[in-house]
Amino acid sequence: MTAACTSYTGNRDERPYVLVACPTYDGKRYALQAWADAYDAFTYPNRSAFMVDNSVEHLDYVHTIRASGIPAAWVPRLPNFWDTIELCFWKILRRAEWLGATHVVSVEADVICPPETLSVLLSRIDASGLVSHMVPWRDGSPDGCWSLGCALFEVERLRRGLEGATDSMECVLFTPPGVSLHGILDIRHLNDPDEPGWTGGGAGK
């Protein structure tokens, strides 16, 4: 690790307060510094960072995340991927409530967003309480396939989804659908330099 990201307590004024967060695991270690640097470069001031680690059997990676300047918590990895994601998002929700955040922006642990991201997402949110931005899948391969890069949730929507969950988190988070953006922001996936392409692993969004 090199430079730590800015204070997670952020700055506060009359604008919405945003928690930038994601589930992660030690397989995303290669992207941590780039993620922290991108968070540090966001131009929107009212923000905090948080990661929820679900690496197996040890706390080494959560300590690494904290050393980078990003607050982090650990949860056990469950046999089902989406169950692990739900557990992570409960941690994220509790963190948002503790901070008094109005919104949560989920930025996947290997996704790098440009400085204007938070301002753009906040400007596009509607009554659904959700706006997401897609990203080309792993630098465009396979051709024409897109995946979720980041998503902005109103905290109340996230709370309702978790408390009323009767299906996988994939359905909870995106039903009903909100605003979906493509090509507005220059968002990119980082591939693991030691393992090109997607190979699965832990629950690291």
Q: What is the pLDDT of residue 189?
A: 85
The predicted model gives 183-190 an average pLDDT of 88
43-77: per-residue pLDDT in tens? 999 999 999 999 987 899 999 999 999 999 999 99
Yes or no: say if 4 and 35 are a contact pair by the CB < 8 Å rule.
no
Give residue for tokens 């949730």. 153
Question: DSSP 3-state helix, strand, coil percentages of the chain (rounded to 5)?
Answer: 30, 20, 45
Question: What gap in Å lies between CA 157 and CA 161, rounded to an integer?
Answer: 6
> Could you tell me the pTM of the whole model?
0.85
Whether residue 199 is predicted with pLDDT greater than 80 in this model: the reply is no
Name the token pair of 119: 């301002």
Q: How many CB atoms lie within 10 A of CB 93?
A: 21
- pLDDT band for position 166 (cuts 50, 70, 90): low
Per-residue pLDDT averaged across 161-183, rounded?
76
DSSP assignment of 55-68 = -SS--HHHHHHHHT
Q: How far is residue 37 CA from its own chain's centroid?
A: 14
Confidence of residue 10 (pLDDT cuts 50, 70, 90): low
Residue burial 97-113, b: 16+ Cβ < 10 Å; e: rest: eebebbbbbbbbbbbbb
Please state, for a pLDDT cut of 90, what percent of the chain lies above it: 55
pLDDT at residue 181 tops 80 = yes
Given this model, what pLDDT does residue 76 score?
94
In the structure, what pLDDT confidence band is assigned to residue 195 with cuts at 50, 70 and 90? low
Q: What digits encode the pLDDT tens for the residues 101-151?
A: 999 999 999 999 999 999 999 999 999 899 988 887 654 455 555 667 899
Nearest partner of 192 among 29, 65, 83, judged by Cα: 29
Can you tell me the distance from the alpha carbon of 160 to that of 172, in angstroms, rounded to the nearest whole number? 9
Euclidean distance between the first and the last CA atom of the chain, given in angstroms as a whole number:
21
Per the prediction, the chain carries an average pLDDT of 84
- Ordered domains of the chain (ranges, CATH): 18-189 (3.90.550.10)
SS3 (DSSP) at 3: coil
Residue 149, pLDDT score:
82
What was the pLDDT predicted at 190?
85
DSSP designation for 102: S
Query: Is a pLDDT exceeding 70 seen at residue 201?
Result: no
Residue 172: is its pLDDT beyond 80?
A: no
